[in-house]
């Protein structure tokens, strides 16, 4: 009896097909993760807390946040690393979290600077965040749970 390693009978074409399916599945998974991460288009992504070090950025050419949703764990202090890459003179932005009343309001980060906000523990809920200078364009959902 001759022992052969698994898959040795596939031949070149078979091995190629297996490889392609793995590649396709990996690509589909990465695409799904990318869509979930950026939140652009498609159905609204679920936005769950992933630790107490949050991060949000204003890109170089926009008055827009790179995220439409932030999430933090309830009853735990957390930080928000805020990078403001906006080079324009009017590009001073901040983060204000509120539920009708203010839960947290951050200092403005001047254009081209970054700031780390330290936010105290928040109660569970679905809130709103915005930049107070550009509230109509720069806003999103802030989930605490
Ligand atoms: Cu702004």
Ligand 1 (ion): residues with CB under 5 Å are 93, 131, 133-134, 138
Q: What is the pLDDT of residues 76-129, one digit of tens each?
A: 999 999 999 998 888 999 999 999 899 999 999 999 999 999 999 999 999 999
| pTM attached to this predicted model | 0.69
Determine phi and psi for 16, rounding to 5 degrees. Answer: -60, -45
Average pLDDT of the segment spanning 39-64:
81
Domain range annotation of the chain: 10-38, 53-144
- 138 C-alpha vs ligand 1 centroid, how far in Å? 6
- 35 C-alpha vs ligand 1 centroid, how far in Å? 24
Of 86, 92, 46, the C-alpha closest to 69 is: 46
- Spatial separation of the C-alpha atoms in residues 18 and 96, rounded to whole Å: 50
**Which one of 3.40.50.170, 2.60.40.420, 3.40.50.2300, 3.30.1330.60 gives the CATH number of domain 53-144?**
2.60.40.420
Average pLDDT of the segment spanning 10-35:
46
- 84 C-alpha vs ligand 1 centroid, how far in Å? 9
């Amino acid at each position: 009896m001759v022992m052969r390693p698994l898959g040795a009978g596939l031949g070149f074409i078979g091995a190629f097909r297996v490889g392609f399916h793995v590649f396709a599945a990996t690509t589909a998974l990465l695409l799904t993760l990318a869509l979930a991460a950026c939140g652009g288009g498609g159905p609204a992504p679920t936005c769950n807390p992933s630790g107490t070090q949050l991060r949000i950025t204003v890109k170089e050419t926009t008055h827009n946040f790179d995220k439409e949703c932030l999430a933090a764990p309830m009853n735990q202090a957390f930080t928000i690393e805020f990078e403001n890459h906006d080079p324009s003179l009017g590009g001073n932005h901040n983060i204000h979290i509120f539920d009708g009343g203010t839960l947290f309001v951050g200092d403005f980060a001047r254009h081209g600077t970054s700031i780390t906000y330290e936010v105290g523990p928040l109660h569970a809920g679905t809130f709103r965040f915005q930049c107070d200078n550009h509230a109509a364009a720069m806003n999103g959902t802030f989930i605490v749970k």
